[in-house]
Amino acid sequence: MLKNDLLDQWDRENFFHPSTHLAQHARGDSPSRVIKTASGVYIEDRDGHKLLDAFAGLYCVNAGYGRQEITDAIAAQAKELAYYHSYVGHGTEASITLSKMILDRAPANMSKVYFGLGGSDANETNIKLIWYYNNILGRPEKKKIISRWRGYHGSGLVTGSLTGLELFHKKFDLPLANVLHTQAPYYFRREDLGQSEAEFVAHCVTSLEEMIAREGADTIAAFIGEPVLGTGGIVPPPAGYWPAIQEVLKKHDILLVVDEVVTGFGRLGSMFGSDHYGLEADIITIAKGLTSAYAPLSGSIIGEKLWKVLEQGTDENGPIGHGWTYSAHPICAAAGVANLKVIEALDLMNNARDLGAYLKGALADALGDHPHVGDVRGEGLLCAVEFVKDKDDRIFFDTSEKIGPQISAALLAQSQVIARAMPQGDILGFAPPFCLTHAEADIVVAATVQAVGAVLG
Ligand code: PLP
């Protein structure tokens, strides 16, 4: 089938690709690629090109491609029981085992796991449960959700609203009412260049406090954030940011949703970003790394405080009116169980921590002095290089120049290495599979230096 000469034509005629320039794709003006197979950190297309995937798909194939332990588990589960639902108390060995494995690894005070299919639907679940929670507590006005500019939480109606990136709002009539955005914790892009990191954190806290005062704490239900901003630019928080933000939230009885779709299960070199930064979440969102994307599965890990109220709600109102046909799908759950076992058996989380430090250090050594490299940053196996027009005065390139996309395209064309041009700003993102080796990291760095040279001199 992959030899079919018509695939390219069929693709352009029939396939609605997400996050794609639809008109260019349909006209054949933009490149397309048919992926055929993959192993370790490499993917291979149908024309035989082997590409080093330094973004692990969409930062999700954490265990690396082609892990037989996971594909065998999927096949065995499909043979034994391909599907049964999880409504009204039904379960499977895989889904029950996985929920226990998640809670055994989750931060303290977490109580139950609700399974969905992707990060977006998990965050939709979270917001519904938070609204339910406040209704059960007799606080129907306490419904607004605070997110951050540059946060990424999905592309559904509520979750696309929570996402703080213009592309996800423009022409979609988003954000919906009840969703507010506060300051992104992005020190490199601070408005006042004279601000110290501590002053910038104080500014983030003041902006949040002012928003809460303006709106009224009794109207605000929750705050949602990724431990490290992901799609918004791969930005670790400035020192002291999370403790200071948490203090404000606690003071105003505002729940904290920690979106660990990217950071969950080891990407920062810790099991959860919540552990990494001392976050006390009321709900943790998980997806990608839960199955390393071998099957679509997400989860909402619900804290004990919320859970107690949900129980009270069903005692008062009957079964909770929330469920997906494919919640806790047994094939996906089996993939999750096998994936977590592989990550641990091969000590991949520690490799992510060590190789992440190595990759960031090597990128900084190789590019830190380049006149157009403004920032090299990262945490664990998640790092980024940000490009600027003028380093001394931190002047950014005009977006029309598309420097980030040009560099990622050059990287691919010259060296067959994939890094992601992040959608807002000239930022090249790296998030390889956890099995990355030093030699592969060296290839990525050398290729990046070459691509930067080709575009920026
Ligand atoms: N939350 C975060 C932090 C993400 O990075 C993503 C996707 O990249 C999502 C949620 C949405 O997940 P999905 O694309 O599986 O719906």
CA-nearest of 225, 250, 227, 248 to 237 is 227
Q: Check residue 3 and give its pLDDT.
A: 60
Burial (Cβ within 10 Å: 0-12, 13-18, ≥19) of residue 170 = exposed
d(CA 288, CA 420): 17
Q: Check residue 31 and give its pLDDT.
A: 85
Residue ranges of the chain with pLDDT lower than 70?
1-3
CA-nearest of 299, 293, 246 to 274 is 246
**Does pTM top 0.90 for this prediction?**
yes
286 Cα: distance to centroid of ligand 1 (angstroms): 9
d(CA 86, CA 329): 8
Distances 8 to 14, 16, 416 between C-alpha atoms, Å: 10, 13, 20
In sign, the C-alpha dihedral spanning 273, 428, 387, 351 is positive
DSSP letters along 243-258, please?
A: HHHHHHHHHTT-EEEE
ipTM exceeding 0.85?
yes
d(CA 443, CA 427): 19
Burial (Cβ within 10 Å: 0-12, 13-18, ≥19) of residue 93 = middle
119 Cα: distance to centroid of ligand 1 (angstroms): 4
Q: How confident is the model over 133-157, as pLDDT tens digits?
A: 999 999 999 999 999 999 999 999 9
370 Cα: distance to centroid of ligand 1 (angstroms): 32
Q: Check residue 386 and give its pLDDT.
A: 98
d(CA 354, CA 182): 33
Q: Is 296 in the pocket of ligand 1 (CB under 6 A)?
A: no
Q: Which of 19, 261, 290, 291 to mutate to test the pocket of ligand 1 (most atoms within 8 A of CB)?
A: 261
Q: What is the chain's Cα-based Rg?
A: 22
Q: Where are the alpha helices (DSSP H) in 115-170?
A: 119-136, 157-162
Q: Is 262 in the pocket of ligand 1 (CB under 6 A)?
A: yes
CA-nearest of 385, 380, 335, 323 to 355 is 380
Q: Is 157 in the pocket of ligand 1 (CB under 6 A)?
A: no
398 Cα: distance to centroid of ligand 1 (angstroms): 27
Place of tokens 């291979």: 44
450 Cα: distance to centroid of ligand 1 (angstroms): 31
Token pair for 99: 């929920």
Helix (H) or strand (E) holding 229: none
Q: How confident is the model over 94-139, as pLDDT tens digits?
A: 999 999 999 999 999 999 999 999 999 999 999 999 999 999 999 9
* Main-chain dihedrals φ then ψ at residue 16, nearest 5 degrees: -90, 100
